[in-house]
Amino acid sequence: MFESLHALPADPILGLSVAYQKDGNPNKVDLGVGVYKTETGETPIMKAVALAQRQRIDTETTKTYVSSAGDAGFNDKLAKLVFGAENPVLARQCTVTTPGGTGALRMAAELIKRCHPGATVWVTNPTWANHTALFQDAGLVVKSYRYFDKDNSCVDFAGMMEALKAIPKGDVVLLHACCHNPSGADLSQEQWKAFAELAKEKGFTPLLDMAYQGFGVGLEEDAFGPRYLAETLPELLLTTSGSKNFGMYRERVGALTMVAENGTRAEILSSVIQNVARCIYSMPPVHGAAIIDIILGSNELSALWQQELAEMRGRIHDLRALLVEKLHARQDQKDFSFITRQYGMFSFLGISPEQVRRLKEEFSVYMVDSSRMNLAGINHQNADYLADAIVKVL
Ligand code: PMP
């Protein structure tokens, strides 16, 4: 049976990580894989997570099965974190625990197939590489719409709206709720409102991928798009991830939220999505979800977590400013100020694949071919070296 298979290339971003590990240059800089790093290059366990985990271990009494919806406490608290504790939308939504944000996207794909097997999923151009692969692998057609204006390093909102006007009812439009990966270019509140109007008029269903709540402007501000769309549209799909904002990458915790026209439909969705889960993995892992449940259920741990999240967010903002300052001090050929107007861990530096290759081969500076940088890989020790290297390849 296996003789028909051929080896597949490794994921390019993970491949970059391997190449970085092997590089013996003491000045090497890793701006590749999308994980948060501290000033000393570590990705530590957040204090709130470590404390909640200890509490979980001390109080857990059974490892018996849970339902296909996962951890009920987590599902409830996560929906409140996204929409706000008093939002009436809570009465017409259903949230289930999933294995990470990726698992949530795959569950969304399976749900879309049950509703509209022929639906096309429209993704931003560019988008997180796994979006296209994941929806295609699930058997859906994936097409992209204009999103990022490379010349001006911002959202091409007019182009995006023009493209979306042609999308038929029943198709799904995927947008990043905040901290667009890979560009860092997000919609303004006015743009979210205009997008909602268009979705209402055209009848397509938005699918919001929120992998970075709290990494952009703040927990509340980053949820503007999901809240506005949920409040103004009858239906919405939303995927969230605990990988980045709780730093629980390997615990695989995420959620799929389905907003329906009313509570009765939300209950139907709950039964359908649990049936989907039962057929794929039966039930999600809940260790990570239980930890988040403990944090969000405790005023003290929530405050600590929010403080740690604010520190991560603040550090990324500061690194954006630091890089721009260093680059502008060395040259005036290219304006990099757009980097400070973008959010989350990523931005395109805006150089060619050939220049990216030179950065890697001549200076051991690693970033994705598209020139997407993970800004969290910068620190006060490597910033001058990095800026020197970039200016040399410009
Ligand atoms: N969506 C986007 C846009 C992401 O950047 C990521 C993580 N890189 C995910 C989803 C998936 O996150 P997880 O690790 O929770 O599966």
What is the domain-level CATH number for residue 346?
3.90.1150.10
Phi (first) and psi of residue 178, to 5 degrees: -165, 165
- Is there a domain that residue 259 lies in? yes
Domain count of the fold of the chain: 2
Whether residue 305 has its Cβ less than 6 Å from ligand 1: no
Instruction: Check pocket membership of 128 for ligand 1, CB cut-off 6 A.
Output: yes
Cα–Cα distances in Å, from 365 out to 269, 335, 358, 369, 392? 47, 21, 9, 12, 12
Is pLDDT at 332 greater than 90 in this prediction? Answer: yes
Per-residue confidence band for 12, with pLDDT thresholds at 50, 70 and 90: confident
What single letter denotes the amino acid at residue 127? T
Check if 211 has its Cβ closer than 6 Å to any atom of ligand 1. yes
Atom of ligand 1 nearest to the CA of 180: 3
How would residue 10 be classed by pLDDT, with cut points 50, 70 and 90? confident
Nearest CA to ligand 1 atom 6: 211
What is the predicted pLDDT for the residue at 250? Answer: 97
Q: Which of 28, 37, 244, 326 is catalytic?
A: 244
pLDDT at 9: 84
Which range of residues forms the domain containing residue 381? Answer: 10-44+307-393
Pull the structure tokens for residue 175.
Answer: 């947008």
∠ CA(136), CA(141), CA(147), 5° rounding? 95
Assigned domain for 358 exists = yes
Structure tokens at 68: 């296909």
pLDDT digits (tens, 9 = 90+) for 126-181: 999 899 999 999 999 999 999 999 999 999 999 999 999 999 999 999 999 999 99
Q: pLDDT tens across 97-132, in order?
A: 999 999 999 999 999 999 999 999 999 999 998 999
**Residue 295 DSSP SS3:** helix
DSSP-assigned letters across all residues of 330-374:
H-SSS--GGGGG--SSEEE----HHHHHHHHHHH-EE--TT-EEE
Give me the mean pLDDT over the 19-41 stretch.
95
Q: What is the dihedral angle through the alpha carbons of 283, 288, 290, 292, rounded to the nearest 10 degrees? A: -130
**Domain-located, residue 207:** yes
Q: Is residue 302 part of a domain?
A: no
pLDDT digits (tens, 9 = 90+) for 333-390: 999 999 999 999 999 999 999 999 999 999 999 999 999 999 999 999 999 999 999 9
Residue-wise pLDDT for 195-211, tens only, equals 999 999 999 999 999 99
Cis preceding-peptide flag for 226 (omega within 30 of 0): no
**Does residue 70's CB lie within 6 angstroms of at least one atom of ligand 1?**
no
Residue 238, domain CATH = 3.40.640.10
Q: 128, 186, 305, 326: which is the annotated catalytic residue?
A: 128
Cβ atoms 170, 144 nearer than 8 A: no
